[in-house]
Structure 1
Amino acid sequence: WVHGDISNFDYIMALNNLAGRRIGDPNFHPIFPWITDFTGSSVSENWRDFTKTKFRLNKGDEQLDFTFDGPVPHHITDILSDITYYVYLARKTPIP
């Protein structure tokens, strides 16, 4: 991957396979990182800042601090809950 022998997609899929994640498995679906920032005006500005989390980039430090000051009223530990996964699959455009 570092030398360009395989694509980024193939590399991330290999990592997902090593982690036990498979396409079509609702409990262990593959995870792909969010790496593109769509607010930039040029191609070189489209990579997101990896020094901050996605939440911190979207909400800011103040919101993040406020979120963890008190008890969390509800929390889903999974990246995608079961219902979110199936809604995503239902809305996904089928590939012919």
Structure 2
Amino acid sequence: MFAIFGGSLKGDHYAPVARSSLLFLPDASEREALIGDERFFVPAYVGPSGWLGLSFHLNGGVDEVDWVEVAELVEMSYRLTAPVTLVRELDARTG
């Protein structure tokens, strides 16, 4: 698992902020900058392992989401969780 759609907050499993969100594992060097942005939150369950959530709700809805940013976050999370051989294969495909 390298990304999840939808999550929850500790103590509030039905929070709109988390329901429509992307959960991902950020690079440690980018985590602090991301958590400083109000669109990002620490999700329940996977948050203690370093994961963050990007709330689509706080973005103004799905129509306002920066899908290029989402793709970058998903790729970062994949690179941090996938086996080295699969990351090399990804690099070979993207040149």
Q: Which has the higher strand share?
A: 2
Larger Rg: 1
* TM superposition score normalised by structure 2: 0.23
Higher relative contact order (CA 8 A, sep 6+): 2
* TM superposition score normalised by structure 1: 0.23
